[in-house]
Amino acid sequence: MGTQHANPTSTSPDHPEAPTHDAGSIRTRRVHLVGAGGSGMSGLAMMLHAQGVSVTGSDQADGPGLESVHAAGIPISLGPSKGGLPEDRDLVIHSAAIAHDHPELLEAQQRSIETLSYAEALGRAQGERTGISIAGTHGKSTTTALLSWILMDSALDPSVIVGAHCPQLGGGWRVGSENVPGEGPFAGRSGLMICEACEFNRSFHHHRPVLGLINNVEEDHLDVYAGIEEIVESFHQFAGLLPSADEGGYLLIAHDGAHRREVTAGLKCTIETFGYTPEADWQVIFDEQRVQLIGPEGTPELSWRPSMPGAHNASNAAAAAILAHRAGASWPSIIAAIEGFKGLDRRLQHLGRRELPGGGSVEVFDDYGHHPSEIEVILRAIRNTWNPDRLICVFQPHQHSRTRFLLEQFAASFTLADTVIVPHIHFVRDSEAERNRVSAGDLVDRLRARGTTAMHIHPFEAIVEQLEVICRDGDLVVVMGAGSVWEIGRDFVRTGPAADSEA
């Protein structure tokens, strides 16, 4: 695709040169967060608190997401809510998981208190800065965190909200400079703000980006979308939020696998593509030891030693590198940052080595993957990088509707696994009627029909016991899913006779 050239230093009323502090600014409000323990919501709570905003919150139960919130002294009420918003609140922000009839939302309505969804709040915050939004069915958290690390390491000091914990970022959030420092193309504009842009419930339509990425577009969230056509149209509307090329608007989109022709139709921003094909504006060349990125002029721009395994992570890193350079980072600083990136929690995270009672050991990994395409590339990355004698996967399906709609794709995605253990499907958002339409046993049946050894085991404690029985020296165990299935991997490592948790 041809490359347009834009002047990213120009501004418009929608993308001001400096932060505004009008009556609508969240930073001038007294905020209450409903569902404060979610990964994004807890990050927002910490970001607002660090900016001096008065923050309170609530959640159904305590959890890991609230540890930093408690430590910061932010008041959080726990348990079933019957309302009772603090009297002085003038803005309520709720997560996507909160029902419209939640008592605190109803009370806010009765008291005429402004209410925003998490995505709307992100859009409000981005509108006061120079927004960068990372979209796509897969790879959002990894790309967001890596881009943030590159820009931090390049002294461009971004603000960040990422839906996963990244130790090098200090968590899933940070507050950066009010204005972009340095001498790059955005120097002097309102500070950079990098956010994941989730397509669920069309949340990313509330973002206000200047730079945007679309990694890939596939079928997902079919409880919200009728099919792939609606999903593609939703990504098209997201891309349409970018300002024109002469206002600095820029979209980086995968050359293949992102429905780029439909998504980019009629856009006025600069558009560039990336991917493994030579026809892309930015071509990625990958093997297990090196990643090379060839730019639009056909000459090698840079190469690096991959710090994360797999072709999918090479692609994520390439996208982060291109966006970072667009934002003003130099190639040498980009290379150094990529090679020094240590990854995120639950993204092929090495939990440790489990010593076995009869001798030998098993390596244990944890991953957030919960879509068929994610599962396939993760298992391939494990095979290519570690080549275990046997690959044992514990996979918890996330949502009954997703499992039912993509059942055959899920069954096909485990070809590279030797054994698959499936607990109950993680029940979230779906109706009770949907819950009764599909079970973990249905997935096990499909897996067995394809020749994969598979079993349905519940509860989690029984899965840990089963792993102790079936694992032998040279095996690798990966625990996968977006629910609480992560507990299994940690329990399996912790209960070993001589556990070595050094990653």
* pLDDT of amino acid 170: 84
Share of the chain above pLDDT 70, in %: 94
Q: How far apart are CA 502 and CA 373, in angstroms?
A: 29
Q: DSSP per residue over 406-470, as a string?
A: THHHHHHHTTT-SEEEE-PPB--S--HHHHTT--HHHHHHHHHHTT-EEEE--SHHHHHHHHHHH
* pLDDT category of residue 77 using cuts at 50, 70 and 90: very high
> Where does the pLDDT of residue 141 fall: very low under 50, low under 70, confident under 90, or very high at 90 and above?
very high
Q: Indicate the average pLDDT of the chain.
A: 90
CB-CB contact of 11 with 185 (8 Å):
no
Return the percentage of the chain with pLDDT > 90, whole number: 73
Q: Is 99 exposed, middle or buried (0-12, 13-18, 19+ CB in 10 A)?
A: exposed
23 pLDDT more than 80: no
Task: Return the pLDDT at 9.
Answer: 34
Does 349-494 match 127-339 at the fold level? no
- The CA distance from 64 to 299, in Å, is 46
What is the Cα 117 distance to its own chain's centre? Answer: 18
Q: Write the pLDDT tens digit of every residue in 187-217.
A: 999 999 999 999 988 999 999 999 999 999 9
Mapping DSSP to helix (H, G, I), strand (E, B) and coil, where does residue 118 land? helix
Confidence tier at 53 by pLDDT (50, 70, 90): very high
275: left (phi over 0), alpha (psi -120 to 50) or beta: left
What local confidence, expressed as pLDDT, does residue 1 receive?
47
Segment of 43-47, 76-80, 478-482 carrying the highest mean pLDDT: 478-482
Q: Are 419 and 390 in contact (CB under 8 A)?
A: yes
Mean pLDDT of 60-77: 89
pLDDT tens by residue, 311-332: 999 999 999 999 999 999 999 9
Vertex 187: Cα angle to 42 and 253 (nearest 5): 65
The pLDDT-based confidence of 2 (bands split at 50, 70, 90) is very low
Q: pLDDT by residue (tens digit) across 221-273?
A: 888 899 999 999 999 999 999 999 999 999 999 999 999 999 999 999 999 99
- Tell whether the model's pLDDT for residue 297 goes beyond 90: no
Other CB atoms within a 10 A radius of the CB of residue 348 amount to 23
Q: What is the pLDDT of residue 223?
A: 86
Q: Is the predicted pLDDT of residue 82 greater than 80, yes or no?
A: no
Within a 10 A sphere around the Cβ of 236, how many other Cβ atoms?
18
Check if CATH label 3.90.190.20 holds for domain 349-494.
yes
Mean pLDDT value across residues 50-74: 90
Q: Are 398 and 433 in contact (CB under 8 A)?
A: no
- Structural contact between residues 317 and 338, judged by C-beta atoms closer than 8 angstroms: yes
**CB-side exposure of 80: number of CA atoms within 13 Å?**
0
For the structural domain made of 28-117, what CATH number should be given? 3.40.50.720
Q: What's the mean pLDDT in 263-288?
A: 95
Chain-centroid distance of CA 168 in Å reads 16
> Residue 404 has what pLDDT?
93
Q: What is the DSSP string of 323-382?
A: HHHHHT--HHHHHHHHHT----TTSSEEEEEEE-TTS-EEEEEEE---SHHHHHHHHHHH
pLDDT for 173: 86
Q: pTM to 2 decimals?
A: 0.86
Question: What's the rounded Cα separation, in Å, for the pair 72 and 70?
Answer: 5
pLDDT at position 24 is: 66
Domains of the chain, residue spans: 28-117, 127-339, 349-494
Does residue 423 have a cis bond before it (omega within 30 degrees)? no
Nearest to 94 by CA among 64, 71, 114: 114
**Which among 333, 329, 326, 367 has a CA at the least distance from the CA of 350?**
367
Q: Find, among 210, 207, 183, the residue nearest to 196 by Cα.
A: 207
Residue reference for tokens 């980072």: 329
Please tell me the predicted confidence (pLDDT) of residue 387. 93
pLDDT digits (tens, 9 = 90+) for 365-407: 999 999 999 999 999 999 999 999 999 999 999 999 999 999 9
Q: Which helix or strand (DSSP H or E) is residue 214 part of?
A: strand 209-214
The CA distance from 203 to 120, in Å, is 8
Q: How confident is the model at residue 6 (pLDDT cuts 50, 70, 90)?
A: very low
Do the beta carbons of residue 264 and residue 239 sit within 8 Å? yes
Place of tokens 């090679």: 339
Q: Which of 195, 202, 197 has its CA nearest to residue 231? A: 202
Q: State how far Cα 328 lies from the chain centre.
A: 23
**pLDDT for 358:** 81
Output the six-digit token pair for 282. Answer: 């930015």
Q: What is the CATH number of domain 127-339?
A: 3.40.1190.10
pLDDT reading at 4 higher than 70: no
Q: Mind listing the pLDDT tens digit for each residue in 145-185?
A: 999 999 999 999 999 999 888 898 888 888 999 999 988 89
- Asked if residue 499 has pLDDT above 70, the reply is no
Give the pLDDT score at 17.
37
